[in-house]
Structure 1
Amino acid sequence: MLRYLLGRLVSLALSLVAASLVIFAVIEIVPGDPASYMLGLNASADTVAALRHRLGLNEALPLRYLHWIAGMATGDFGQSYTYKVPVADLVAQRLAVSLPLALYALLMAVLIAFPAGLLAAARRGRSADAAVMGATQIGIALPNFWFAMLLVLAFALHWQLFPAGGFPGWGDPLAGIRALTLPAVALALPQAAILARVLRSALIETLGQDYIRTARAKGLTVGQTMLRHALRNAMIPVLTIMGMQFSFLLAGAIIIENVFNLPGLGRLIFQAITQRDLIVVESVVMILVFAVILMTFLVDLAYAAIDPRLRKRA
Structure 2
Amino acid sequence: MFRYIIDRVIALFITLFIIVSIAFCVVRLMPGSVYDQDGDLSQTVIDTLNEKYHFDEPIIKQYGYFLKNVFLHGDWGTSMKMRPNVPVFEVMKDRIPVTLQINLISLFAAIPIGLAAGIVAAIKKNTIIDHFVSFMVVIFISVPSFVFATCLQYFVGYKAGAFPIIYDASATGMAALHSMFLPILALMFSPIARVARYLRAELAETMNSEFMLLAKTKGLTYAQSTIRHGLRNSMVPLANIIIPMFANVLGGSLVVENIFSVPGMGGMMVDSINASDHMLTVAILVFYSMISLITVLIVDISYGIIDPRVRMGGKK
TM-score (normalizing by structure 1): 0.88
CA contact (8 A) 2:118 2:200 kept: yes
What residue in structure 2 maps to residue 50 of structure 1? 48
Superposed displacement of residue 158, structure 1:
4.7
CA contact (8 A) 1:145 1:256 kept: yes
Q: May I ask how many residue pairs the two structures share in their alignment?
A: 308
What residue in structure 1 maps to residue 193 of structure 2? 193
* Ranges of 4+ aligned residues in structure 1 off by more than 4 Å: 41-45
TM-score (normalizing by structure 2): 0.87
Cα distance in 2, alignment partners of residues 153 and 26 from structure 1: 37
Superposed displacement of residue 32, structure 1:
5.3
Cα distance in 2, alignment partners of residues 218 and 147 from structure 1: 47
Superposed displacement of residue 161, structure 1:
3.7
Cα distance in 2, alignment partners of residues 224 and 25 from structure 1: 56
What residue in structure 2 maps to residue 39 of structure 1? 36
What residue in structure 2 maps to residue 216 of structure 1? 216
Superposed displacement of residue 90, structure 1:
2.3
Superposed displacement of residue 142, structure 1:
3.6
Superposed displacement of residue 68, structure 1:
4.5
CA contact (8 A) 1:77 1:283 kept: yes
Superposed displacement of residue 143, structure 1:
4.1
What residue in structure 1 maps to residue 79 of structure 2? 80
1:69-114 C-alpha deviation (Å, 9 max, x unpaired): 337x84x432211122332122111112111111011112112100
Instruction: Find out whether 1:123 has 2:124 as its counterpart.
Output: yes
What residue in structure 2 maps to residue 298 of structure 1? 298
- Taking only aligned residues, the RMSD between alpha carbons, in angstroms, comes to 2.5
Cα distance in 1, alignment partners of residues 52 and 184 from structure 2: 40
Superposed displacement of residue 202, structure 1:
1.7
Letter in 1 for 2:227: L
Of all paired residues, the percent bearing the same amino acid is 28
Cα distance in 2, alignment partners of residues 153 and 65 from structure 1: 45
For residues 68 and 174 of structure 1, do their structure 2 counterparts lie closer, same or farther at Cα, with a shift above 3 Å needed? farther
**SS of the residue 2:300 aligns to:** helix
Superposed displacement of residue 252, structure 1:
3.0
Instruction: Find out whether 1:255 has 2:255 as its counterpart.
Output: yes
Unaligned runs of 5+ in 1: none
Cα distance in 1, alignment partners of residues 25 and 63 from structure 2: 11
Superposed displacement of residue 46, structure 1:
2.6
For residues 229 and 156 of structure 1, do their structure 2 counterparts lie closer, same or farther at Cα, with a shift above 3 Å needed? same
What residue in structure 2 maps to residue 140 of structure 1? 141
Cα distance in 1, alignment partners of residues 180 and 26 from structure 2: 34
CA contact (8 A) 1:232 1:306 kept: no
CA contact (8 A) 2:79 2:279 kept: yes
Superposed displacement of residue 150, structure 1:
3.3
What residue in structure 2 maps to residue 181 of structure 1? 181
